[in-house]
Structure 1
Amino acid sequence: MAKRRKLVRTSPDRVFAVLADGWTYASWVVGASHIRDVDEGWPATGTRLHHQIGPWPLHISDVTTVESVVPGRMLDLHARVWPLGAATVRLDLEPVEAGTRVTLTYELTAGIAKYIPRRVQAALLGPRSAEMLSRLADIAVRRRVPAVY
C-alpha cells in the first residue's frame, strides 16, 4: 500500500471541488490520458468516471467507481485498468491551520498488479502518488472559481 501526504494551502472545500469535477482527472492523475465521460451526479456513491490510461494508440479504456464519499472530507474510489488490474484509491482531506492535509492511499487489488509484493507496490506507487498530489494541489490552489451572475 502506498500512502502519501501533502499540505495544500487552501481549504478542503477547494480541494474537494477539484475531486468533484470528474473532467479534471486527466490533469492530475498520472497516466490518465483522456476522460471519456463522467456520470451524472459524480462523485456520488456508485457513479463512474470513464477514462483512458496510457498513450495513444496503446491506451486502455475503463472506469473508476466511487465506493464512498464524504463531501469535503473523503473520496474512496475503485479504479480499473483491466486487464492490468484494479486499485483502491482513497483521498482524505483534513483541515489544518495552514490549509488542508491531503492523504492519498493507493493499493493494487486485482489483476496482474495484485501479485506485485506490497513493498514493491509502495516503492513504485510512492513517486506517482507524490506527483498526483502535487498536481492536485496546483489545481486546487490556482484554479479560478467562475463568477456567478
Structure 2
Amino acid sequence: MIEVCRTIRTPPERIFAVLADGWSYASWVVGAAHIRAVDDGWPAVGTRVRHRVRPWPLQIEDQTVVREMEPDRLLELDAHAGPLGIARVRLTLEPVSATVTRVRMGWRAAAGVARFVPEAVLSLMLRPRNSETLHRVEDIAIHRQLPAP
C-alpha cells in the first residue's frame, strides 16, 4: 500500500465534513474533473459519487463507491478509473489534540492494469498526487464555511 500522511490544524469533524460532501469530491481528488451525481446518504457504505476523470476531452465517466465508513475517523473507497481499474483508497483521521488531526491516505490497486505495475513505480507517480489531495482537503477543511448544524 502506498501511504501519505499530513497533519492538519483542525479537528477531525471538519476534515470529515469535507469527505462527507460528495459534491466537493472533484475539489480535493486530483484527477476528478466533474461530479455528475451523488447518491443520497453519501458517505454511507455502498453509496456512490459518479464523476469524470482525466482532462477534457479525454474524460472517462466513472464512479467511486464507499466500502467502509466511521464518522470523523475513517472513509474507505473504491475509486473506479475506467480501463485503469479500481483503486482502494483509505483515509484515516487520527486526533493529535482537540485542534490537530493526522490524516493518512493509503492507496492500492484493487483491480485493473495498475495491479501489474511495480509498487515502486506507482509510488513515484502517486505519492505527489496523493500529497496534493491531502493538501486540498486541508485547504477546504480550514477555509470553507461549514453549514450551521
TM-score by length of structure 1 reads 0.96
Matched AA of 1:38: V
- Between 110-119 and 21-30, report the one with greater CA deviation: 110-119
Corresponding position: 1:141 with 2:136: no
Query: Which residue in the other structure is 1:121 paired with?
Result: 122
Matched AA of 2:17: A
Alignment length (residue pairs): 148
Query: Which residue in the other structure is 2:104 paired with?
Result: 103
Query: Which residue in the other structure is 2:25 paired with?
Result: 25
Matched AA of 1:52: R
Deviations 1:8-34, CA, capped at 9 Å, x for gaps: 110100000000000011111001100
Is contact 1:26–1:33 with CA below 8 Å preserved after alignment? yes
Is contact 1:21–1:42 with CA below 8 Å preserved after alignment? yes
Matched AA of 1:102: V
Distance (Å, rounded) in 2 between the aligned partners of 1:10 and 1:69: 20
Query: Which residue in the other structure is 1:132 paired with?
Result: 133
Query: Which residue in the other structure is 1:86 paired with?
Result: 86
Distance (Å, rounded) in 2 between the aligned partners of 1:61 and 1:21: 19
Matched AA of 1:68: E
Distance (Å, rounded) in 2 between the aligned partners of 1:104 and 1:33: 20
- Between 106-115 and 46-55, report the one with greater CA deviation: 106-115
Q: Give 1:108 shift.
A: 1.6
Gaps of 5+ in 1: none
